[in-house]
Every structure is written in structure tokens, then in C-alpha cells.
Amino acid sequence: MNKTFIRTVPVWMLLLLLIVAIAASMLTGAYPMSAFHAAKVLFSGGDLKEIAVMTLIRPPRILVAMLAGCALGLSGAALQGVMRNPLVSPDLVGVSSGAAFGSVLAIMAGLSSFVMVGFALFGGILALACTFALAAIMQVRNGVGLILAGFFVGAFFLAGIGFCLYMDPTGSAPGISYWMMGTFRGADPLKAEILGAAVLLGGGVLMGLRWRINLLSLNDQDAAALGVNVSLVRWLVITIVALLVAAQVAVSGVVGWVGLIVPHIARMLVGADHRRLLPASAFIGGVFVLGLDDLTRSVIQGEIPVSVLAAFIGTPFICILFWKAKNKGWGEQ
């Protein structure tokens, strides 16, 4: 299979792959079923446990996992585009840590899920603003400097989370610690609605900005010459990314690596044009996270946090990718 063919994969095929992944996830888990038996349970009834699994437990979990993957894939592709750096992802520039800190504060205060998203959004934007401020103070303008600043800011917010857990008077620290590593256990329709609204709103705005992101991914001067308000668009994209990550973190904890890995896979399949890259990243992200969740539910059956599996898969993938592309510009990858 040559490179030209790979880069002509239609986006609709990735959407079809996502639909197939959703259907496969409905048949996977501690109670695996054949497609025929699942259809019989759904339409003709059957064992009460099987009915509960197929109608109450699996659908919201699958929907939340899929939407989380879409949100992280979109976020990573948009951030890498406006920052012109393939190493940028929400968890590497402090957004995820800031959003997690806001979520932990909301959880410990006993606030509702909607309010928790607001806390997570504020924490994510605050962390990203701190990252940019620190990079400016350090007078480092390249992408590596931004990632280094994000590492420091993320460590600070993680320390804040650790302090909150240590001082926790409610006894919920163990559960919060497990949730922090990313899990879809306990997903319900409300969480799916919250995350779905964020993905629809954020994805719609990012798709509306897709050609501006294309220009920003090339050069600020050229984008400004073509009438793009560079600062406004960049901060609008950053705010949307913070919203997507905040909603994802609020409903399922921190899921790392997805925002870094998925855009690279999408770029290899559909190229660097954000008109195709953004929806492709969303669909591939949904498939990727669904696959990780299926692995925890069926093969391992131990509810290992999703971020742990993502790191096991993502670390060698990224190492191989950058080893192969060490002599190329990032737009060629």
C-alpha cells in the first residue's frame, strides 16, 4: 500500500469504521454476545441481566467513551495545527491537569456535574494561560519551550490535586485517584449529554474555523496578510479545546496520549488539510478510545484505567513515528 493511496482514505470510511466499532462494543464485555443474540435480547426480550446490560449499562458507557475519543482527537489536531507543533497535546501543555484540578475541587465540594464542567473549564483555561505566560517569561518561542512550560504548569496543578486528596475530609480520595487515571465505569445518560453537547458545540466551531487553522498551521504573517486575526483565532481555538477537554475530564477523568497519538494517525491517512483532518481525528479518536475500553471490559476484565493502556500503546508508537520522521518537517509526517 503506497503513501498516495493512504492519504486518499475518504473521511466517510472512518465514520463507517466508528459505527462498526460502536456495534462491536455493544457485543463486547463481561457478558459477550453474538449479533443475533443481542438483536434477540433487544427486540424480543430475554434474561433480565442481559436486558439490563444491553439497554442500561453498555449504551451510555459506549457513548461516553466514543465522545471522549472524539473530543480528544479534535483537541489534539486543533492544538497541533494552531501551535504548528506535532508534540503538542492537551495533556502536555497543562490543560488536562488544570481541568482535573477544577474537577477535583468540584467533586470534593459535592457540586453537580454541570457545575463540575464549569470548574474544569476554568482550570483548563487557567492552566493553558499559565503555560503561555511562563513560556513568554522564559522568552522561549519554539514548541519545545511551550511543552517544557506546560510540564511545569501541569506538575503544579498535579501537586494541587495531591494536596486536595491529602487534606480530603470526605474519604473519597481513593475513588478520585482511580477516576483521575481515566475510567468510563459509572457512565450514565447525563454524562453522555454533557460530553455530547461539548463535542457538538466545540466540533462545530472548530470546523467553522478549519481554513483559518490551515493558515495558522503554515505561518502567522501569511495568515494575517490574508485577513485572519491571528491572536483572536488562536485564543478561540484554545478556548474550544479547553471546553472539550474540560467536559471529557469532568465525566471520565484524565485520558492521556489520545490527543497526541490520534492526530498523527489521522494525518497519515488523510493528510494535513484540517477540512479533512479534524473530522478524521474525531472519528479515529472515537474508535481508539472505544478499543481501549473494550480491552478493559473483555480481555483484561479488571477495569484498568484507560490512560494506562493508552500510555502502553502510545509510547512506542510515538517513539517509532518520530524516529522515522527525524529528518522531516512536521508537515510531511
Domain locations in the chain as residue ranges: 60-326
**What pLDDT, on a 0 to 100 scale, did the predictor assign at position 292?**
92
Indicate the class that CATH gives domain 60-326: mainly alpha
Q: Which of 162-166, 216-220, 247-251, 306-310 has the lowest mean pLDDT?
A: 216-220
The mean predicted confidence, pLDDT, of the chain is 85
**What pLDDT, on a 0 to 100 scale, did the predictor assign at position 141?**
56
CA gap 84, 81 in Å, rounded: 5
Is 290 a residue whose pLDDT tops 70?
A: yes
**What pLDDT, on a 0 to 100 scale, did the predictor assign at position 74?**
95
**Residue-wise pLDDT tens digits, 108-142:** 888 887 888 889 889 988 998 898 888 888 776 55
The H or E element that residue 296 is part of is: none
CA gap 258, 267 in Å, rounded: 14
What lies within 8 Å, CB to CB, of 14 at 6+ separation is 269, 270, 279, 280, 283, 284, 287
**Residue-wise pLDDT tens digits, 13-44:** 999 999 999 999 999 887 888 888 888 888 88
Is 7 a residue whose pLDDT tops 60?
A: no
Is 330 a residue whose pLDDT tops 50?
A: no
What lies within 8 Å, CB to CB, of 242 at 6+ separation is 95, 99, 121, 124, 125, 128
Whole-prediction pTM value?
0.89
**What pLDDT, on a 0 to 100 scale, did the predictor assign at position 279?**
96
Looking at residues 228-250, what average pLDDT do you find?
88
3-state secondary structure of 227: coil
Is 242 a residue whose pLDDT tops 80?
A: yes
